[in-house]
């Protein structure tokens, strides 16, 4: 069956381990077992939920368990029309209210990518407990969610983090998103809607917003001195900033930078650009790391 092919492909990833301590060799659902992908999802979600709890970001489900539905999500017309069909995972209105999201088994061919997707979608659910994510704040939600993987796994457990992968991907032109150079040529939050928050669903390209997470990632991981706490960035949000202008998040972010990092958003963005151009971090740069002309991406 088609679904079995996806499960088999997942187990072929070089990073996959058949010897994980939590694995059960019974992978036949008809015999009470579960495919390795499903077992890994369950274990990874346990790690994610525990890490978020420790960061003071509980899911507030009380006695209910959070659910991940694993399956091919590209066959339903409505999912394809909404762009969910080729997504690695997604959460919808019911998922926000009841505590679940979907993982696309057709895209689950990389162990770390599955874990990054789980953390990203779970972050969206957690965001909904602090800010309005269905009727606004779309840019911030998509710029903040890629930071979730490092909240759970450090570089020793997961080498590549989503913001850095998004940055590398954005070095190449695409028909579906802007390059990092296009994004850097405008203000960080250029995609936000100036008047109506709900309009961001139409003005914000989620891939571009995901790439824009690199700025927050820089402040969280690489700036000198105190680092930005991404959990506090969500926790400290106040409803007074939940207004519908694009200046609300810029003002809020600047206030957090001033209060927590003793800096301001302009200086941090300048330092971020200089860091990307320094080439000191080959995993986080807009210079070529493949030899030859280091300025070839420019």
DSSP secondary structure letters along 63-127: TSPPEEEEE--SSSHHHHHTT-TTSSEE--HHHHHHTEEEEEGGG---HHHHHHHHHHHHHHHHH
Q: In this predicted structure, what is the pLDDT of residue 245?
A: 46
Tell me, yes or no, if the pTM score tops 0.85: yes
Q: In this predicted structure, what is the pLDDT of residue 298?
A: 60
Q: In this predicted structure, what is the pLDDT of residue 62?
A: 84
Say if CB 155 and CB 222 are below 8 A apart.
Answer: no
Q: In this predicted structure, what is the pLDDT of residue 177?
A: 92
Output 84-90 pairs: Cβ under 8 A, ≥24 positions apart: 88/113, 88/114, 88/117, 89/117, 89/118, 89/120, 89/121, 90/121
Q: In this predicted structure, what is the pLDDT of residue 196?
A: 57
Q: In this predicted structure, what is the pLDDT of residue 240?
A: 44
Q: In this predicted structure, what is the pLDDT of residue 73?
A: 82
Single out the residue of 39, 10, 38, 37 nearest to residue 22, CA to CA.
39
User: What's the Cα-to-Cα distance from 161 to each of 55, 235, 297, rounded to whole Å?
Assistant: 18, 22, 21
Q: In this predicted structure, what is the pLDDT of residue 243?
A: 46
What whole-number distance in Å separates Cα of residue 241 and Cα of residue 136?
12
Q: In this predicted structure, what is the pLDDT of residue 288?
A: 76
Q: In this predicted structure, what is the pLDDT of residue 84?
A: 55
Class of 1-129 per CATH? alpha beta
Domain regions of the chain by residue span? 1-129, 132-298
Q: In this predicted structure, what is the pLDDT of residue 246?
A: 47
For 256-270, give the secondary structure using H, E and C.
HHHHHHCCCHHHHHH
Q: Which residues of the chain have pLDDT under 70?
A: 1-2, 74-85, 191, 193-198, 238-247, 291-295, 297-298
């Amino acid at each position: 069956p088609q679904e079995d092919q996806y499960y088999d492909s997942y187990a072929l990833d070089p990073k996959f381990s058949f010897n994980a301590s939590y694995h059960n060799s019974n992978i036949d659902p008809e015999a009470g077992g579960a495919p390795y992908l499903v077992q890994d999802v369950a274990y990874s979600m346990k790690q994610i939920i525990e890490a978020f709890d420790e960061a003071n970001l509980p899911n507030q489900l009380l006695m209910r368990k959070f659910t991940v539905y694993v399956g091919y999500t590209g066959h339903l017309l409505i999912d394809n029309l909404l762009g969910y069909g080729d997504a690695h995972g997604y959460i919808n209105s019911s998922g926000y209210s009841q505590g679940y999201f979907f993982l696309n088994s057709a895209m689950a061919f990389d162990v770390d990518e599955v874990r990054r997707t789980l953390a990203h979608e779970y972050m969206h659910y957690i965001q909904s407990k602090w800010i309005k994510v269905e009727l606004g704040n779309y840019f911030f939600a998509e710029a903040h969610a890629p930071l979730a993987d490092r909240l759970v796994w450090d570089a020793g457990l997961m080498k590549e983090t989503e913001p850095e992968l998004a940055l590398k991907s954005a070095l190449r032109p695409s028909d579906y998103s802007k390059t990092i150079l296009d994004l850097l040529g405008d203000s960080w939050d250029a995609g936000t809607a100036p008047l109506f928050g709900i309009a961001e669903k139409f003005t914000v390209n989620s891939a571009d917003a995901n790439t824009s997470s690199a700025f927050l990632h820089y402040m969280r991981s690489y700036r000198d001195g105190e680092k930005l706490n991404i959990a506090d960035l969500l926790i400290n949000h106040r409803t007074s900033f939940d207004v519908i202008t694009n200046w609300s998040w810029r003002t809020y972010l600047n206030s957090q930078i001033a209060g927590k990092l003793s800096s301001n958003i302009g200086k941090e963005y300048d330092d971020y650009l200089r860091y990307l151009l320094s080439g000191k971090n080959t995993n986080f740069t807009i210079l070529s790391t493949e030899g030859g002309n280091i300025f070839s991406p420019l």
